[in-house]
Structure 1
Amino acid sequence: MLKIEGIAAFVAVAEAGSVSEAARRLRLSKSVVSERLAEMEKTLGATLLHRTTRKLTLTEDGLAFLERASRIVQEVREAAADLAERRGTLTGSLRIAAPVTFGRMHLGPALYPFLADHPEIELTLDLDDRRVDASSDGYDAIVRHGPIADSRLVAWKLAPSRRLLVASPDYLRGNGMPASLADLGDQRGIFYTNRGVADWRFQGPDGAIIVRGKLALGINNGDMCRDAAIAGLGIALLPAFIVGPAINQGLLVEIDVGYRPEVEFIFMAHPEGRNPSAKLRAIADHLKKTFGDPPYWDPAG
């Protein structure tokens, strides 16, 4: 007879692409995960995974079994959570991905009191600036800043997120304060490379207006973009949740070129077609209240 532990191990391995990563997510040893896989394959009388020294792939039988196996695991998790929630308890595991800088500066401090109030929630928070696939990477939800690029996601807005054009006072004294988009094109820029392009985007009356500055520095980390701007290397367009404190302290100055950057949001998104648990909804509601509207990190004035 099939055991749910074996089905869960198979789904985790299929999603993670390796036994070792699946074991990490399940918080089990590799040997236990391997044993559960072997026992399930023996019970089914079928080989579900091709194993080599370099990679692990699903067999034809494995692909056919995965869709229903994933549904079974999800249903069992939701059923167990529903029973606990009927008793007024938020419980069970959650796996959420979030950006590094926002996670460190704002998401973590907002989550800590919530988790302290709900000790039966088992949250795994993965901080990574790369664009993860919420469904195939096995996340219950992702927290992100910006536009929503994946149409397979259902998004909940947690807070508006203004992006501000900033530079250090020293840089502006040496290079002049740009007052228009034309002025901005002659300036040195610090660009967040995970967005893929070295440009500044603004809202115009007929759509997006794109200005390309001179590349001074490209970095894939928001903290370092802010620090480079404070060091006087150039102008940066960064979220208020990163640069707000530096503006309040006088380390950075907001630049007004007559146009606002494109509107963005802090949002939580979960895969389409997956019924979000009560604990995920509770976390989203808590974050929305904690961040505020306008959010507390917006600079004074």
Structure 2
Amino acid sequence: MMKVDGIAAFVATVDETSISAASRRLGLAKSVVSERLAELERSLGVTLIQRSTRKLTLTSAGQALLPRARRILREMEEAMTELDASSGKLAGPLRISAPVGFGTLHLGPAIARFLHDHPGIEMALELDDSFVDAATGGFDAVLRHGAIGDGRLIARRLARSRRLLVASPAYLALHGVPASLSDLERHRGVLYANRAGDWRFAVGAGWSVVRPKAPLRVNNGLVMRDAALAGLGLALLPSFFVHTEIRNGALVEIDVGAPAEGAELFLTYPRDHGAAAKIQALGESLRRSFGDPPYWEA
């Protein structure tokens, strides 16, 4: 018979790609994780992971078991969460991923408030600007800004944010202020590398796409903001990155006669995760911390 601790060791080893890393995640000795994994394989009569000195590789049996093992762990956690919620408390692990820039600027105080209100929760927050798949990445929930468009996920809206076209006063003094979408074609732009190198503006019922010359493409909004502050070019950034700089005049918001595509914030999690009480509580706490409208739009 499969034991839950063996399933947990298996999933952690796959997620972390090594038994050593899995042992750190679980807070157990490496030998304990290795034995629990071996015991699971003995109980099933199959090899789940091929071990070598260089890497671990899932066997076909391991690939077949993995999604079911994840579901078992989620359901066990949800059952414990529901019991905790019914008794008036929330407790246990909660693993969250969020973008680096937004997390650096806005999540610290918000997460502290949430954990102060729910001291039994043990959160692991990972900041990552690469695409994180909330359905298979091993996270309970992923914070994203922008469209979701993934039927496997539930998306809870946290806050709205506009994308603003900005530049430094020095850049505009040197290159002029664009007044229309067509003007943007002759300007330089600092572009976000993890999405198509286009700027999208709402025109009528559709979108107008602008492709500026790009002296810099980077996968981090804070670096984009700093490049705009240094006069490297125009940047199209969410308001939560530049609200302070616009207020103090370090950056100027540019009106080209059409609004840019928005950047709403969502908390996403897999559909088979259910309406876990901890995720709901986190979402409600973040919404209170950000405000409606959020403080970066005030």
Task: Tell me how far 1:8 sits from its aligned partner.
Answer: 1.1
Computed over aligned residues only, the root mean square deviation of the Cα atoms, in angstroms, reads: 1.6
| Residues 16 and 138 in structure 1, CA contact (< 8 A), matched pair in contact too | no
Residue in structure 1 matched with residue 176 of structure 2 by the alignment: 176
Task: Tell me how far 1:14 sits from its aligned partner.
Answer: 2.9
Q: 2:33, 2:70 → 1: CA distance?
A: 16
Residue in structure 2 matched with residue 95 of structure 1 by the alignment: 95
1:21–1:276 distance in 2 versus 1, CA, 3 Å: farther
| Residues 16 and 137 in structure 1, CA contact (< 8 A), matched pair in contact too | no
1:193-204 counterparts in 2 under 5 A?
A: 193-195=193-195, 197-204=196-203
1:65–1:213 distance in 2 versus 1, CA, 3 Å: closer
1:3 has 2:6 as partner = no
Task: Tell me how far 1:108 sits from its aligned partner.
Answer: 2.1
TM-score, length-normalised on structure 1? Answer: 0.93
Task: Tell me how far 1:50 sits from its aligned partner.
Answer: 1.2
Residue in structure 1 matched with residue 121 of structure 2 by the alignment: 121
Residue in structure 2 matched with residue 58 of structure 1 by the alignment: 58
| Residues 50 and 57 in structure 2, CA contact (< 8 A), matched pair in contact too | yes
1:1-301 counterparts in 2 under 5 A?
A: 1-195=1-195, 197-298=196-297
Alignment: residue pair count? 298
1:96–1:199 distance in 2 versus 1, CA, 3 Å: same
Letter in 2 for 1:92: G
Letter in 2 for 1:288: R
1:201–1:67 distance in 2 versus 1, CA, 3 Å: closer
| Residues 100 and 128 in structure 2, CA contact (< 8 A), matched pair in contact too | yes
Other structure's SS at 1:233 match:
coil
1:281–1:83 distance in 2 versus 1, CA, 3 Å: same
Other structure's SS at 1:174 match:
helix
Q: 1:160, 1:174 → 2: CA distance?
A: 33
Q: 1:207, 1:17 → 2: CA distance?
A: 44
Percent identical among aligned pairs is 56
Q: 1:138, 1:93 → 2: CA distance?
A: 12
Q: Which runs of 5+ in 2 are unaligned?
A: none
Q: 1:170, 1:56 → 2: CA distance?
A: 53
Q: Which runs of 5+ in 1 are unaligned?
A: none
Deviations 1:240-294 (A, max 9, x none): 0001101111100000000000123110000122213111101101111221222
Q: 2:63, 2:190 → 1: CA distance?
A: 45
Letter in 2 for 1:166: V
Q: 2:177, 2:65 → 1: CA distance?
A: 62
Other structure's SS at 1:294 match:
coil
TM-score, length-normalised on structure 2? Answer: 0.94
| Residues 75 and 273 in structure 2, CA contact (< 8 A), matched pair in contact too | no
Q: 1:29, 1:178 → 2: CA distance?
A: 61
Q: 1:55, 1:207 → 2: CA distance?
A: 49
Q: 1:27, 1:134 → 2: CA distance?
A: 24
Other structure's SS at 2:31 match:
helix
| Residues 223 and 242 in structure 1, CA contact (< 8 A), matched pair in contact too | yes
